[in-house]
Amino acid sequence: MTAETLTIIVIIGLAAGILGGMIGIGGGLVIVPALIYFLAYSQKEAQGTSLGLLLLPVGILGVLNYYKKGYVDLKVVGLLSIGFVIGSYLGSKWALSLPQATLKKVFAAFLLLLAIKMLLIDKK
């Protein structure tokens, strides 16, 4: 694994953790698209690896199914977890300092931008 790839994985974990702590999202809306667009993972690899982040106790049956088919990268799961722990702490701190209306707008804007990206700009 190159230093660049390692850096991208940690940044994805941090972003997912921050957004998870801030607006309650992470794996499906942050990690899966990020692994696909920044590291060229297939949809199944991204989903399996994202589920690996939630391995214990939630998601274990889904992870096992993906793992058996070779779609879970355990090294990436570990690195994402480190970033997610730190990021979720930071994101929750930021979210708690924002007014409720602002937080709702941030969440809505993120979902809208992601939807537009996936509908109109998807290259795969």
Q: Where are the domains of the chain?
A: 3-120
Q: What pTM, to 2 d.p., does this model score? A: 0.72
Higher pLDDT, 8 or 47: 8
Using DSSP's 3-state secondary structure scheme, residue 70 falls into coil
DSSP state of 30: I
CA dist 89 and 84 (Å) reads: 8
Instruction: For residue 23, name the pLDDT band (cuts at 50, 70, 90).
Output: confident
Percent of the chain whose predicted confidence (pLDDT) is above 90: 35
Question: Is the alpha carbon torsion for 111, 98, 51, 123 positive or negative?
Answer: positive
pLDDT category at 21 given cuts 50, 70, 90 is: confident
Mind listing the pLDDT tens digit for each residue in 68-124? 999 999 999 999 989 988 998 898 898 889 888 898 888 789 889 988 988 887 666
- Angle of CA points 85, 88, 89, to nearest 5°: 90
